Amino acid sequence: MRRRLAVALLLSVCGPAAEARADWLITPFLGTSLAGETTFLILEDGAGSRMTLGASVALIGDGILGIEADFAHTPKFFEGDDPRGVVLTSRVTTVGANVLLAAPLALTRESLRPYLVSGVGLMQAHATNVGGVFPLDENRLGLTVGGGAIGFVTDFTGLRFDVRYIKAVSGANGPFPRDGVSRLSFWRTTVGLTIRY
């Protein structure tokens, strides 16, 4: 009996380790950008709460580390609520590469899995005004920090809840910089359908 226990223990310790699993997570999302601020010369009181849509693709394993590519588009970002405003069209588009730090699956199993996210990317801001004066077409390096949680309801589908702060960290401040105001920054909250592949 002791010999059998010793052999079983030896096989469990020295046997092949369980394969680590890594999943692709594809998440189209919908949300809101809010608390936007900028030092760009915008002739309207915009940069408020606006609808945001986009998608992300992440690769994450059973442990804590993962990587993510993220794309988001926010139309009407600089436009105010007055339909007769001077900003005719505007948008902010972001593309980012991020690192994810997630709670390991050994702790969360398949329940809600919280994570932190941080990375860099490109922010593109565009606006056209009545008469074509002071057009805006800027590309800036952006920094992203945030967090959220992913929970699966089936083996292959789940929901992701996410909050991020996105801020331009390159380029000039604009013609009328204001103390304590970012070149371009905003918060983004989203909910997405996650597909595990």
Q: Name 117's Cβ contacts closer than 8 Å, sequence gap at least 6.
A: 68, 98, 99, 100, 101, 144, 145, 146, 147, 148, 162, 164
Rounded to the nearest 5 degrees, what angle is found at the Cα of 33, between the Cα atoms of 30 and 36? 170
Predicted TM-score (pTM) above 0.75 = yes
Q: What is the pLDDT of residue 55?
A: 98
Q: What is the pLDDT along the chain (197 residues), one digit of tens a residue?
A: 555 544 443 334 343 444 557 889 999 999 999 988 776 666 555 556 789 999 999 999 989 999 999 999 999 887 766 656 667 788 899 999 999 999 998 888 778 999 999 999 999 988 887 666 667 778 899 999 999 999 999 989 999 999 999 998 876 665 555 555 567 889 999 999 999 98
Rounded Cα–Cα distance for residues 44 and 80 (Å): 6
Tell me, yes or no, whether 75 lies in a domain.
yes
Q: Is residue 2 part of a domain?
A: no
Asked, for residue 7, whether it belongs to a domain, the answer is no
Q: Is residue 52 part of a domain?
A: yes
Whether residue 137 lies inside any domain: the answer is yes
Query: In sequence order, what E strands does 39-170 have?
Result: 50-61, 65-75, 87-102, 113-129, 136-152, 157-168
Q: Does residue 4 form part of some domain?
A: no
Contact 46, 80 (CB under 8 A): yes
CATH number at residue 183: 2.40.160.20
Residue 72's pLDDT is what? 97
